[in-house]
Structure 1
Amino acid sequence: MPGGTDLTLRPFLWRAENLYPDTEIVSRTHEGIERYTYAEYADRTAQLAHALDAAGIEEGDRVATFCWNHHRHFETYFGVPTTGAQLHTINPLLPDEHIQYIVGNAEDEIVFVDPSLVEKLAGAAEDAVEFDDVEFVVMGEDVPETSLDPVTDYESFVANHETEYDWPELDEDQPAGMCYTSGTTGRPKGVEYTHKMLWAHTMESLSPGGIPMDDDDVVMPVVPMFHVNAWGMPFTATAGGAKHVYPGPSPNPEDLAHLIEEEGVTITAGVPTVWLGLMEYAKENDVDLSSLDSAIVGGSAAPRAMIEWFDDHDVELLHAWGMTEMSPIGSVAHLKAGLEEEPYEDQLKRRSKQGLFVPGLEFRVVDDDGNEIPWNGEDFGELHVRGPSVTTEYFERPDANEEDFEDGWLKTGDIVSVDEEGYIKIVDRAKDVIKSGGEWISSVELENSIMAHDDVSEAAVVGVPHDRWQERPVAFVVPVEGADEEALREGIYEMLREEYPKWWLPDGIEFIDAVPKTATGKFSKKDLREEYSDEDLFEGRAPEEAAPDDD
């Protein structure tokens, strides 16, 4: 396209700066609450761009962040890609060897790092050749004692630079961002986001079928900014002219409740454990959620009981689904026109699903033979997706490209069903579905049912080896404080018997202190399988009736 008409991020920044110069950006930082306006944000973003130029960063170079959610991190979201460089967000919760691989594979030139994460990054960088040519900028006003070298503080890095910048005309296919998958089953896979992909994702999100944000909204992404651009919310909120609120390093439920109350948050987003924590805190404290219109939940399925609790507090818990490879939002569980008139129970069933695909994307669901399944809510197969915000290849991974892409389609690895209205329901990940006696059991469905019990905080279900049935489900349950475990075990079985055939019932229910989490906050079934690989360990076994029938 001719210069100035390509689909890039720059117009979003221009719109916010010129139409909403006085709208606030609020940030909880190591130094306390910081607040400034879009006009001031644009000035600092220009200063950052000049600082990157002065540091020798050129078009196509990669600049990494190792940060929590705050205003300085947000400044890199536009200050890096609109110069033609590429923003690479690194998950600081990853193991050191993954961080080393990611930095080396991406060939990062600079890493911006939070003060509280300096020690973690220094540990990963120590004696690692991948960091030999990297410069470090600490996202604060001072540099703590560290072995990182060369290093400077962020305020000194951007100080004394001009607040006006001549933003270059960029091609929409220019890489703007980069994020790596968590690498739970092998080396992390890099996903590059072009300007066009992020532009398209922002437009998909702004549509009524996405997660729209307007100039009267106050948006607080709790989902980490290092995890697929906080689900794209910083870009969407900027394009919509909304007020931003960033919860900063390691916010607890009290921090989130305070920010919602004090800043009038209307839209927020995070994984289910975030909202479980807020629920528990609100039950014991006086929390005002009256400003909150919707809380987006993703990463794993939202328990029905959680949706009902938020409904009781006049907050819509909006289920969304996506992937790193999709920039990431793919579907949102809005109710179609007319379906609001359904009985509440039927509405809950639809809202508990992953929802309707956002405008701009296409999907298909295929069985093992490659045939598309009917939309009847019962048959299921693997979900394939494509669209302008979906990547078509991994960064320098031809082996994974061959496995995960087919004729322009991304093979998601999610096993889903589709109902007659087009609502997607994830039955399981292909690697997590439990195959027992030739039949499939959905671990996700069992987890959601178990977590509907009032005395359950978390639950994960995995398949364990079985000599006769190949695999059998076992549930790992975190009870709420003070719950009677034996009564709870029987209560869970009684509840499951009402919903599922007897061969679906878990062979055992084990009580644990916490379900292990991945670096992105999802339940880590891989860790559970490794820790509890011997089926003889399970003491909380179901009655004999739980085994599959011989036929």
Structure 2
Amino acid sequence: MPGGTPQTLRPFLWRAANLYPDTEIVSRTHEGMTRTTYAEYADQVGRLANALDEAGIDDGDRVATVCWNHDRHFETYFAAPSTGAQLHTVNPLLPDEHLQYIVEDAQDRIIFVDPSLAEKVAGAYDEDAFESVEQFVVIGSEVPDVGLPNAVAYDDFVGGQDTEYDWPQLSGETPAGMCYTSGTTGKPKGVEYTQQMLWSHTMAELTPMGMNIADTDVVMPVVPMFHVNAWGMPYATAAAGAKHVYPGPSPDPEDLAHLIEEEGVTITAGVPTVWLGLLEYLEDNEVDLSTLDEIYIGGAAAPESVIRAYDDLGVTVVHAWGMTETSPIGSTATLKGTLEDADYETQLDKRGKQGLVLPGLEFKVVRDDGERIEWDGEDFGELLIRGPWVTTEYHQRPAANEQDFEDDWLRTGDIVTVDEDGYMDIVDRADDVIKSGGEWISTQELENTMMGHDAVSEAAVIGVPHERYQERPVGFVVRREGTELSDDDLEGELSALLDAEFPSFWKPEKYVFIDEVPKTATGKFSKKDLREEYADESLLSE
């Protein structure tokens, strides 16, 4: 007879507290550095769980957070789901109307808020949209006077509560978490995670093909905890019994360098712009990176120049791919054993791709006609993926469910190739790929090559309407500070760079030099904003 307990999050907390009671959880906060241990953390999680019960939070109720990366935020990661409630991490960088939509759609009952974000939340507060919210809990000992109704300080909320808690035996199908997509093509879509989904994602992340986190590691998630649970790193770090380092609100390169040095960080993760910024800081400052083994880069393609630069510093960049819908990690560009003796350029080519799917997942790549592509590194189509931590529906979005799911397969919207070794390479988003004269042009490949130029800090390519060819690419370039090249000279060098790699019809019809590529609330390039501002035929006639 089959047996065993359900796959849930709480055993990860039990293991950390009992096997690694003295291992640290370190946070950079507005008030300075805080330090606690797994044993103290487990006690605090118990207090918070009791406080949630006293506040009337029941099974399935949603508890929201609008917080930066720190230990108090981490306490909600286990306390809310392990009582049977559902943790809903909210992105504070979203526009007010998206924030209102998300809270109303999720029907959050309690919202935990950082003091520095209280004014943002108060500004977005709308009586109708926030009708379900019964209480705001502000992290710390005081409530700022910004107009949050029914607000209480976190210290008062948990004060006097018992550290012991009678944890319920939950089903693996119990809802545990919720995140919303960034909403770049419409209203954000809610993605719910069950206990089993987060458990299986954690176990895959611990494997050598994931992040290979061990109890000797010191893990610093720079990716925000509101962004798909910081890519699952808090759960995986706890499951491993490793030390946590949380960089707090809006860390700059100096903050990150200091934390790496002082805390002995071995593994970290974030979007490419974070690591570009650290590289620039390293040019003028002496920083000891001797403990740092790996940087996981996701959210956008990792430029080859960044991978090379960190290789020179003795730090391995591992490219990762995922989505809100995949909880989120779906693949990492780890090297197969058969490639360990390959030459550096071959390895670099593999490491620059989105890589190999994690154990437990399956994928297929299909053309518009539904036929699967060849794994030859050239043929491309849309990526579909499925597995234990891949969602099969959105929260209350039947139209999107019909469009984005095919049986138990998620249609990712990513256009990819797959090479003979099984490494996926995203050549574009379905919404971003350019169709010019009947041929497809990958904007992402153009961008990666352009950002490989020493004088370029950011580059984005969009399709602009063209009378003859339907669409033509236009490149938007942000110059690296201090470069002495003129716009004309830089344009000429970029054209030569692209000439060497791509067919002539791929080359941008025009270059536009801008101060910054607009970003989404999750830090990705917002081509939607670029298209809204520039994508009309007049741009190519200027």
Output the TM-score relative to the length of structure 2: 0.98
Asked if the contact 2:463–2:535 (Cα under 8 Å) also holds between the matched residues in 1, the reply is no
Select 2:512's aligned residue among 490, 510, 513: 510
| Deviations 1:317-346, CA, capped at 9 Å, x for gaps | 100000100100000000101212111111
Quick one: distance in 2 between partners of 1:500 and 1:134? 57
Asked if the contact 2:103–2:129 (Cα under 8 Å) also holds between the matched residues in 1, the reply is no
Could you tell me how far 1:534 is from its partner in structure 2?
3.1
Quick one: distance in 1 between partners of 2:20 and 2:4? 22
Quick one: distance in 2 between partners of 1:430 and 1:496? 22
Q: In the alignment, residue 520 of structure 1 is paired with which amino acid? A: T
Is 1:84 aligned to residue 84 of structure 2? yes
Quick one: distance in 1 between partners of 2:404 and 2:516? 32
**Corresponding residue for residue 430 of structure 2:** 430
| Percent identity (aligned) | 67
Q: In the alignment, residue 461 of structure 2 is paired with which amino acid? A: V
**Corresponding residue for residue 340 of structure 2:** 340
Q: How does 1:305-384 map to 2 (within 5 A)?
A: 305-384=305-384
Could you tell me how far 1:113 is from its partner in structure 2?
0.5
Please state whether the residue corresponding to 1:341 is helix, strand or coil.
coil
**Corresponding residue for residue 399 of structure 1:** 399
Quick one: distance in 2 between partners of 1:330 and 1:463? 28
**Corresponding residue for residue 409 of structure 2:** 409
Could you tell me how far 1:128 is from its partner in structure 2?
4.0
**Corresponding residue for residue 186 of structure 1:** 186
Please state whether the residue corresponding to 1:130 is helix, strand or coil.
coil
Q: How does 1:4-153 map to 2 (within 5 A)?
A: 5-131=5-131, 133-153=133-153
Asked if the contact 2:61–2:85 (Cα under 8 Å) also holds between the matched residues in 1, the reply is yes
Quick one: distance in 2 between partners of 1:131 and 1:298? 36
Quick one: distance in 1 between partners of 2:334 and 2:249? 31
Could you tell me how far 1:193 is from its partner in structure 2?
0.2
- Output the aligned Cα RMSD: 1.3
Could you tell me how far 1:133 is from its partner in structure 2?
3.8
Select 2:528's aligned residue among 505, 526, 529: 526
Is 1:478 aligned to residue 469 of structure 2? no
Query: Mean Cα displacement is larger for which, 26-35 or 336-345?
Result: 336-345
Asked if the contact 1:509–1:538 (Cα under 8 Å) also holds between the matched residues in 2, the reply is no
Could you tell me how far 1:538 is from its partner in structure 2?
5.4
**Corresponding residue for residue 549 of structure 1:** none
Q: In the alignment, residue 324 of structure 2 is paired with which amino acid? A: T
**Corresponding residue for residue 468 of structure 1:** 468
Could you tell me how far 1:284 is from its partner in structure 2?
1.4
Name structure 2 gaps, 5 residues minimum: none
Query: Mean Cα displacement is larger for which, 338-347 or 122-131?
Result: 122-131
Could you tell me how far 1:430 is from its partner in structure 2?
0.2
Quick one: distance in 2 between partners of 1:373 and 1:4? 40
Could you tell me how far 1:17 is from its partner in structure 2?
0.3
Name structure 1 gaps, 5 residues minimum: 542-551
Asked if the contact 1:136–1:151 (Cα under 8 Å) also holds between the matched residues in 2, the reply is yes
Could you tell me how far 1:482 is from its partner in structure 2?
2.8
Quick one: distance in 1 between partners of 2:24 and 2:128? 41
Query: Mean Cα displacement is larger for which, 106-115 or 474-483?
Result: 474-483
Could you tell me how far 1:531 is from its partner in structure 2?
1.1
Could you tell me how far 1:488 is from its partner in structure 2?
1.2
| Deviations 1:163-206, CA, capped at 9 Å, x for gaps | 11111100110000000111111111100000000000001111
**Corresponding residue for residue 154 of structure 1:** 154
**Corresponding residue for residue 547 of structure 1:** none
**Corresponding residue for residue 536 of structure 1:** 538
Asked if the contact 2:385–2:410 (Cα under 8 Å) also holds between the matched residues in 1, the reply is yes
**Corresponding residue for residue 250 of structure 1:** 250
Could you tell me how far 1:2 is from its partner in structure 2?
9.3
Please state whether the residue corresponding to 1:109 is helix, strand or coil.
strand
Is 1:490 aligned to residue 492 of structure 2? yes
Quick one: distance in 1 between partners of 2:212 and 2:142? 37
Quick one: distance in 1 between partners of 2:367 and 2:514? 36
| Deviations 1:454-498, CA, capped at 9 Å, x for gaps | 111011111111101100111111111132222211111111111
Could you tell me how far 1:31 is from its partner in structure 2?
1.2
